[in-house]
Structure 1
Amino acid sequence: MENNCNTESNVKNCHRAVVTGASSGIGAATVRTLAADGWQVVALARREEKLRALADEVNAEQGSDVVTYAVADITDEASTQAAVDQVLAAGEVKALVNCAGAAFGKDPVATANLDDWRGMYELNVIGTLRITQKLLPALKRTEGTVLVISSTAGIEPYEGGAGYCASKFAERVMARVLRLEQVGEPVRIVDISPGMVQTEEFSLKRFGGDADRAASVYAGVPNPLKAEDIAECVRWALAQPDTVDIDSIVVRPRAEGSYTKVFRTA
């Protein structure tokens, strides 16, 4: 791919992506996958140490500085604006991959913690909206793509998941409405909804660091999805011609028919 991200006459050939939530899980896997596919990648997250380690790792593998990073908390306006300013000062952007997100708790509606719900909305919904709004004009200049990693939780609700499901329903609807509103504009809007993905942090964060409870989510499930599987979906969707919009991808492990219909060996 030609990465000519600083020449006004050739911005459509820019292949530079911003990936949020890049310090772990699907975000980190997406950074690695896109860099291997010829993209320049800007990794965004709150944890600078992890971002630096990721950039050093990938750049050593690729033999060039294909990954840079910007420290950003997308739930904070000033932090996000500073990161966006840093990104755009270095060149144009062809893709925004919204991987940042989390689930907090799994309590029933009657006893749910309001701060957990508030945290999920601030990160999964408002944070995605904030950085999308800030980068949308730049993405139009390159005929680029807004890609949202939502969840099958935004398609099918389940007991104990009301707060997370509600936030992911909202995130998916935001992506869908943005797609409708931008028809005729030079930008694509893609939603990828993963089912069960086993990563190092998602369930651990959800259950407040309870490793046994986190492990029980995947117990007996043969071959849950890996972060790399979702990153490959991102790579494929972005690799389509600019005029081809992959509106929605729903991806699950073979063992998962739905959240409540999962095959387990024991």
Structure 2
Amino acid sequence: MTDVRRALVVGGSRGFGARLVNRLSENGWAVTATGRRPRSDTSLVDRVDYEQIDLAADTAVRDLLEFLRSLRPRLVVFNAAAYPTAEPDLAECEVVFRVNALVPHHVFADYLPGAECTCVLINSDSIYHANRTSGVYAASKAALRVLTSALADRCRGSRACAATLLLGPLADERKAKQFERIAQQRQMTPEEVEKAFLRRANPSYVVDSLIDLEACVRTVEYLVDLGTQANGMLCRLDGGSAGSLL
């Protein structure tokens, strides 16, 4: 291993992924991001490398695995996700499961056991409260959670680890703009709208504000610092959405 701390963020072109990429870069990591969109459509800083990879493509497993082997990162964060329409057909469901669960499992099952690497797979609190419109997405993330445990078992006795960071409602730019618009319409403050949203979204939430993206970044770095002790770890920043027993 070289002294350069290399990180790869799969699904790092926008939202939390882009924030994570830019902050890791600020903190001294040599970061590469991948995403479906071209570099020109991202908000990544210039010093970050970027590779356009479509995880829904037939060559996704091969392409991502080859890229990992050439890069040999100390940290890999799998943040990519496919979101289905409200009433997806079978073909769309297959794409969602492929991107969200099957591709990462196949790639990391091959790569991790022989690597010195912390792999953090981003999951969602949707697995706790699926409904008729979110069920397919939630099921794909539940599959990822189970497969991450299988990856951790593969890493047993090696210098690699596989951990889950499970996130609840994030304070992304899209939500902030939505809350501001609703606040203007209803003559409320954005903070009041935010609290009302959380109360209605999930009665188990015990937070009054959306989860800050910076807290997510710090948690990823904490998992890296733990090294192989983080293998199999489930770290929740979900606002208590799982209820009191999990």
Instruction: Please say whether Structure 1 and Structure 2 have the same fold, judged by a TM-score greater than 0.5.
Output: yes
**Could you tell me which amino acid in structure 2 is paired with residue 74 of structure 1?**
L
| Alignment partner of 1:21 out of 1, 7, 11 | 11
Q: Secondary structure at the match of 2:159?
A: coil
Query: Structure 1 residue 182 and structure 2 residue 155: aligned?
Result: yes
How many matched pairs?
220
| Alignment partner of 2:88 out of 109, 113, 134 | 113
Q: How does 1:240-251 map to 2 (within 5 A)?
A: 240-245=226-231, 247-251=233-237
Distance 1:246 1:14, change over 3 A: farther
Determine the structure 1 residue equivalent to 2:50: 69
Q: For structure 2, list consecutive stretches of 5 or more residues without a partner in the other structure.
A: 176-180, 183-189, 199-207
Q: CA deviation at 1:79?
A: 4.7
2: CA distance between counterparts of 1:51 and 1:131? Answer: 26
Q: CA deviation at 1:44?
A: 0.5
**Could you tell me which amino acid in structure 1 is paired with residue 99 of structure 2?**
L
Determine the structure 2 residue equivalent to 1:129: 105
Give a deviation string over 1:169-201, Cα, whole Å, max 9, x none: 100000011112321122111101111114346
2: CA distance between counterparts of 1:17 and 1:120? Answer: 25
Query: Structure 1 residue 37 and structure 2 residue 27: aligned?
Result: yes
CA RMSD in angstroms comes to 3.3
Give the conservation status (yes or no) of the 8 Å contact 2:22–2:45.
Answer: no
Give a deviation string over 1:6-30, Cα, whole Å, max 9, x none: xxxxx17552111011111121111
Determine the structure 2 residue equivalent to 1:163: 136
Determine the structure 1 residue equivalent to 2:117: 144
Distance 1:103 1:218, change over 3 A: farther
Give a deviation string over 1:118-170, Cα, whole Å, max 9, x none: 33212211232244245425xx33x211210011223x133222212211110
Distance 1:12 1:49, change over 3 A: closer
Determine the structure 2 residue equivalent to 1:196: 169
Q: Secondary structure at the match of 1:258?
A: coil
Distance 1:35 1:52, change over 3 A: same
> Percent identical across equivalent pairs?
22
Q: For structure 1, list consecutive stretches of 5 or more residues without a partner in the other structure.
A: 1-10, 60-66, 203-210, 261-266
Give the conservation status (yes or no) of the 8 Å contact 2:152–2:231.
Answer: no
Distance 1:164 1:191, change over 3 A: same
Query: Structure 1 residue 103 and structure 2 residue 83: aligned?
Result: yes
